Amino acid sequence: MITCSAPAKVYLFGEHAVVYNESAICCAVNIRTRVNIEYSENIVINSSLGTTGIDYEIHPYVSAVVDKIRKKSPYRGVSISIESDIPVGSGLGSSAAVVVATICAFNNLLKLGMDKESIASFGHSIEKEIQGAASATDTYVSTMGGTVAIPARRHLKNPLCNLVIGNTNVFSSTGQLVAKVASLKNIYPEVITPILSTIGKASLRGESLLENEDYRALGELMNVNQGLLEAIGVGCDELSRLIHSSRTAGALGAKITGAGGGGCMVALAENENIDAISREIKNAGGIPIVTGVTDSGVRVDFDNE
């Protein structure tokens, strides 16, 4: 049996804009998905979503990995079992983490010799296939870990502040929200394109603020980014409640992370405010998760094959 794991991610800046090649800053965070794999008579995929064979309804991302690998390097069967601490469909990159951890597991089981760059780009091809439009960011950051400036893929200083995530527990589909922004951009290109480009500019400014450890200004610009995400229609009442409660409780900045429409927000927080922010997120109906950036991307946790 082989176990591989990969981390979740949050965007400090730039979700959605990144789909249109604008700049973004994305961090791998210390919440992981673990994928166990072993040879078996046929194909079994087991997760909190159910137990299936290849099944594009229940396990689209994992099924796509299984199919693509089988075409490249045929094998008889495998049993894949997924355990995850990342809430599913909530903006924390659960799809990217399950994809890169599954690819890493196959890489070790079948001795495919893929390096991390190949795992990340294979992962991106799977996200594109299932999601429609997808940037390479989620799969890249989940593979490599750390704080990454996109599109340059430059590793930045990790923020020394804490990240408090608030999960609305409202399921959202990244594919649908990406399509919603695309449609808005199609109808009002002269309005929406500059908004996306302004998000990119906030992100570029964020790079130097991170390097200078100016977290007050970083938080302020995260709040600006949130306003722009609202403008492109990916906010919702539940997210707004958590974001505003965190700010009231002392967050330096708070915004949606990931696709929006539900899912999670992230607040940048100094040590002394973590408890108050977590409490206010709870009072506002959310589930708080206090976390930080991890440099550990996808990795092999166990291998006795």
Single-letter code of the amino acid located at 66:
V
Question: 92 among the known binding-site residues?
Answer: yes
Tell how strand 78-84 and strand 44-47 pair up.
parallel
Task: Identify which of residues 106 and 140 has a Cβ nearer to ligand MEV in the complex.
Answer: 140
Smallest distance, ligand ATP to C-beta of residue 265, A: 12
Quick check: helix, strand or coil at residue 159?
coil
Question: Cβ of 194: how many Cβ atoms within 10 Å?
Answer: 11
Closest CA to 141 of 35, 37, 12, 265: 12
Distance (Å) of CA 190 to CA 126, 131, 187, 194, 195: 32, 26, 9, 7, 9
47 contacts which partner out of Mg ion, ligand ATP, ligand MEV, none, CB within 5 to 8 A by kind? ligand ATP
The beta strand positions in 85-125, using DSSP E, are none
Instruction: Take residue 148 and report the two structure tokens written for it.
Output: 């990454």
By beta-carbon proximity to ligand MEV, the closer residue of 16 and 59 is 16
Integer Cα distance of 74 and 77 in angstroms: 9
Cis amide leading into 151 (omega within 30): yes
Find the part of the chain contacting Mg ion (CB under 5 A) among 34-42, 74-82, 88-96, 275-283: 88-96
Q: Which helix (H) or strand (E) holds 162?
A: strand 162-167
Residue in 115, 138, 301, 303 annotated catalytic: 138
Q: Which range in 18-26, 55-63, 194-202, 282-290 contacts ligand ATP by CB under 6 A?
A: 55-63
| Interface of this chain with ligand ATP, residues 165 to 184, rule: CB under 6 A | 173-174
Per the document, the length of the chain is 305
- Binding-site size, ligand ATP (CB under 6 A): 24
199 is a contact residue toward ligand MEV (CB under 6 A): no
User: Is 90 a binder of ligand ATP (CB under 6 A)?
Assistant: yes
Residue 144: exposure state from Cβ atoms within 10 A (0-12, 13-18, ≥19)? buried
Is residue 138 annotated as a catalytic residue, yes or no?
Answer: yes
Q: What is the DSSP letter of 222?
A: H
Print the binding letters for residues 147-186 with ligand MEV: x by CB under 6 A, - otherwise: ---------------------------x---x--------
Interface residue with ligand MEV among 137, 143, 168, 172 (CB under 6 A) is 137
Residues in contact with Mg ion by the rule CB under 5 A: 95, 174
Residues recognised as catalytic: 138
Bind-site residues for ATP: 87-97
Residues in contact with ligand ATP by the rule CB under 6 A: 33, 47-49, 59-62, 82, 84, 88-95, 98, 138, 173-174, 258-259
Residues in contact with ligand MEV by the rule CB under 6 A: 15-16, 18-19, 91, 93, 134-135, 137-138, 174, 178, 258-259
